[in-house]
Amino acid sequence: MLIYLYDGTFEGLLTAIYQAYYRREKPDSITTGSAMQTHLFGRTVQITTDSKKAEKVSQAVREKISPAALSNILFAFLSEQNEATTWVYHYLDLGWKMGKNVDLCLNHNPVLKILDLARKVKGERHRMLGLIRFRRLNLKYDIYYAPYKPDYNITGLVAPHFARRLADQNWIIHDTGRNLAALFNQKEWLLTEFQLDKIPSPAANEETYQKLWKNYFNSVTIKERYNPKLQKQNMPMKYWRYLIEKN
C-alpha cells in the first residue's frame, strides 16, 4: 500500500496530486501525518507543500476539467471527512479523462461522494450566511463579534460574503470548535488561529437590540400554525447555541 502524507492544507493536497502524476504513482491514500496507524501497512511518502505546484494543479483542474470541479474538490476538502482527500484524487483521475462531463458519471463512486460532500458543505455555508449572529463589543475599537460552531471548515467560505455586506464595520467570525477566526478591518479579511477565554462585555446598546430581536422573533410566530418539527428540520438544534433568539 502506498500512502502519501501531506500537511492537511488544500495546497498540500494539490501538491500531493502533482507528485502522484509526476512520479507516475497511484497512492492508495492521501492523508495527514496524524493518522499514524496507517503507516504500519505500507510505504509512505512525505509530501512537501509547494504553492507553485499546487497552483499548476488548480489551473489544470479549471482548464482541463471545469471551474465547478475545482470548487467541488475545495468544498469536499473542507468537509474534513477522513476519506475526502482520497476521493478528491480519484475524482480528478477520472476528471482528466472525462473533462467537464466528470460530474455526470454518476455510476462512479468517487464522483458521487465528491458531489455529495460538496453539496453538504455548500449547504452549511449557505445556512450560516443567515444564522451567524454578531454582537457589538465594548472595546476601544468598535468590533462586532460572531461565535459559531459549524460542522465543516467553512469560515473562509463565509468571510467574503460578510466582507462585501458589512463592509463598514470591523468584525470577527469565530469558529469556536476549530479555534479559527476570520478578522475584518473594513478593508480586508484574514483567517487566523484564534481563542478567547471569555467574550468581552457587550457595547452599550447591544442588549437592547438583542431584546428587541427576541421580541420580534416571538411576535411573528403564528400560533395557529405551530410546527416545531418543521422549525427544527430547517434550523437544526445544534446551531441554536449561538442564536440570540433561542437563548
Q: Where do contacts with another protein occur on this chain (CB under 8 A)?
A: 98, 101, 104-107, 112, 126-127, 129-136, 144, 146, 161-162, 164-169, 205, 209, 211-213, 215-217, 219-231, 233-235, 243-245
Q: How far is the CB of 176 from another protein (least distance, A)?
A: 17
Q: Which residues of 100-110 are buried (b: 16+ CB within 10 A; e: fewer)?
A: eebbebeeeeb
Q: How far is the CB of 217 from another protein (least distance, A)?
A: 7
Q: How far is the CB of 223 from another protein (least distance, A)?
A: 7
Which is nearer to another protein, 180 or 203 (by Cβ)?
Answer: 203
Which is nearer to another protein, 20 or 132 (by Cβ)?
Answer: 132
Q: How far is the CB of 19 from another protein (least distance, A)?
A: 30
Q: How far apart are the first and last CA of the chain?
A: 51
Which is nearer to another protein, 12 or 110 (by Cβ)?
Answer: 110
CA triple 25-27-33, angle to 5 deg: 125
**Rounded to 10 degrees, what is the CA torsion of 190, 194, 198, 201?**
-10
For the record, the C-alpha cell of 228 comes out as: 416545531
Q: How far is the CB of 116 from another protein (least distance, A)?
A: 9
Sheet with 170-175, edge to edge strand ranges: 135-136, 143-148, 170-175, 180-184, 189-193
Q: How far is the CB of 3 from another protein (least distance, A)?
A: 29
The beta-carbon contacts of 46-50 under 8 Å, at least 24 apart in sequence, are 46/5, 47/4, 47/5, 47/6, 47/7, 47/12, 47/15, 47/16, 47/19, 48/15, 49/6, 49/7, 49/9, 49/11, 49/12, 49/15, 50/11, 50/15, 50/18
Which is nearer to another protein, 197 or 224 (by Cβ)?
Answer: 224
**Residues 105, 172: contact at Cβ < 8 Å?**
no
Which is nearer to another protein, 191 or 235 (by Cβ)?
Answer: 235
Which is nearer to another protein, 23 or 97 (by Cβ)?
Answer: 97
Helix (H) or strand (E) holding 193: strand 189-193
